[in-house]
């Protein structure tokens, strides 16, 4: 099994039950198996309450599975306390609305919190803080400000830099663009991509938006009611657009247009999910018709 060695993160038959034994018992994740290879850029999508946030909190050991295992580089992260703590640093987790976790007096100190907990030396912390603040577009002058006097979008950047600066092997982001305006979304999108290119980190991001998933991810995992419904390249996933719609999920607008074209009898391939692909296909069709 040669390809297994490149799996940074593996989840085996993972289930998670909240409040077992009470009237509020809830199976949020149900027998999920999944693995992420080094450098992959994965989008995790699913309906509200499908268990995305619950699943990702197992990756760095914040939640312990009710059953199943979580492996980082082949090692079970729950085998010892040390391994669980190591998992915190190997997998960086950006929570939904991460700006609500800011607490330090200055932006610099807040971004340095993670690296400091890792026990890095001062120079290394300084390098990481400055470098990652630059990636998220925070100017030098912002570093000495209080995070509480920044705007919402800027706070989000500080929070992102805080995890970026830990330089984890796998970075997991829970709806990193939630609640931002289109420009803010595009920015965050760019920061994540820039970070990915620079460090070759495995990235997994949770989103509600098929558009973002289609634009960013090399691989898309779809969750439904605690289970994985689909897992594959965007082509593979969106070629099952009809199923996605039936599962109550959205598909990119172009895909929807093409589904409609097909329904009306045009011989199109409904696996398209970007404007470029759509344009290319239409052009090809037009060319064919002329001939």
Partner 1 sequence: MLKDITLGQYFPGTSPLHRMDPRAKLLILIFYIVAIFVCNGLIPYAICAAGLAAVIALSRISPKLILKSLKPVVFIVIFTGVLNVLYTPGQELWRWWIFKITLEGIYTALTMIVRILLLVASTSLLTYTTSPMALTDGLERLLGPLKKLHVPVHEFAMMMSIALRFIPTLIEETEKIMSAQKARGADFDSGNIFRRAKALVPVLVPLFVSAFRRADELACAMECRLYHGGVGRTRLHTLRYGRVDLWGGLLSVAVCAAAIALSRLL
Q: Residue numbers of the site for Mg ion (CB under 5 A)? A: 53
54 counts as binding ligand ATP under rule CB under 6 A:
yes
Residue whose C-alpha is closest to residue 89's, from 167, 37, 25: 167
170 counts as binding partner 1 under rule CB under 8 A:
no
Q: How far apart are CA 87 and CA 21, in angstroms?
A: 29
Query: Could you say which of 28, 93, 206, 278 contacts partner 1 (CB under 8 A)?
Result: 93
| Min separation Cβ 274 and partner 1, Å | 32
Binding at 288: pick from partner 1, Mg ion, ligand ATP, none (beta carbon under 5-8 Å per type)? none
The token duo for 188 is 């965050």
**Taking CB under 8 A as the criterion, which residues in 4-23 touch partner 1?**
19, 21-23
The window from 109-117, 124-132, 260-268, 269-277 that contacts partner 1 (CB under 8 A) reads: 109-117
52 counts as binding ligand ATP under rule CB under 6 A:
yes
- Give the contacts of 41 (CB within 8 A, at least 6 positions apart): 196, 202, 203, 216, 217, 218, 219
The token duo for 221 is 């995992």
Residue by residue, DSSP assigns 141-202 as GGGGS-GGGS-HHHHHHHHHHHHHTT--SEEEEESTTTT--HHHHHHHHHHHHHHHHHH--E
Per-residue x/- track, 113-132, partner 1 (CB under 8 A): xx--xx--------------
89 counts as binding partner 1 under rule CB under 8 A:
yes
101 counts as binding partner 1 under rule CB under 8 A:
yes
Query: Are 14 and 58 in contact, with CB atoms under 8 Å apart?
Result: yes
The window from 45-53, 74-82, 258-266, 277-285 that contacts ligand ATP (CB under 6 A) reads: 45-53
The token duo for 34 is 């999944």
26 counts as binding ligand ATP under rule CB under 6 A:
yes
Query: Could you say which of 1, 2, 3, 19 contacts ligand ATP (CB under 6 A)?
Result: 19
Q: Give the DSSP H or E segment for 280.
A: helix 275-290
């Amino acid at each position: 099994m040669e390809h297994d060695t490149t799996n940074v993160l593996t989840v085996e038959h993972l289930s998670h039950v909240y409040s077992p034994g009470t009237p509020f018992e809830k199976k949020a994740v149900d027998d999920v198996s999944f693995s992420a290879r080094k450098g992959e850029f994965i989008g995790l999508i699913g309906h509200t309450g499908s268990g995305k946030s619950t699943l990702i909190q197992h990756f760095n050991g914040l939640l312990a599975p009710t059953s199943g295992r979580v492996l980082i580089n082949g090692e079970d992260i729950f085998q010892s306390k040390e391994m669980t703590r190591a998992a915190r640093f190997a997998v960086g987790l950006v929570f939904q609305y991460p700006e609500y976790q800011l607490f330090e007096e200055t932006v610099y100190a807040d971004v340095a919190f993670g690296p400091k907990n890792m026990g890095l030396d001062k120079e290394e912390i300084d390098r990481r803080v400055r470098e990652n603040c630059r990636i998220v577009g925070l100017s030098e002058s912002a570093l000495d400000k209080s995070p509480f006097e920044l705007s919402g979008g800027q706070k989000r950047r500080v929070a992102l830099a805080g995890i970026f600066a830990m330089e984890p092997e796998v970075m997991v982001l829970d709806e990193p663009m939630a609640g931002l305006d289109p420009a803010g979304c595009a920015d965050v999108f760019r920061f994540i991509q820039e970070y990915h290119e620079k460090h070759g980190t495995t990235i997994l991001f949770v989103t509600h938006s098929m558009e973002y998933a289609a634009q960013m991810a090399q691989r898309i995992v779809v969750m439904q009611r605690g289970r994985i419904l689909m897992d594959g390249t965007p082509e593979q996933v969106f070629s099952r657009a009809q199923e996605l719609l039936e599962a109550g999920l959205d598909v990119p607008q172009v895909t929807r247009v093409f589904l409609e074209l097909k329904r009306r009898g045009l011989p199109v391939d409904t696996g398209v999910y970007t404007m470029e692909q759509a344009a290319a296909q239409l052009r090809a069709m037009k060319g064919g018709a002329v001939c």
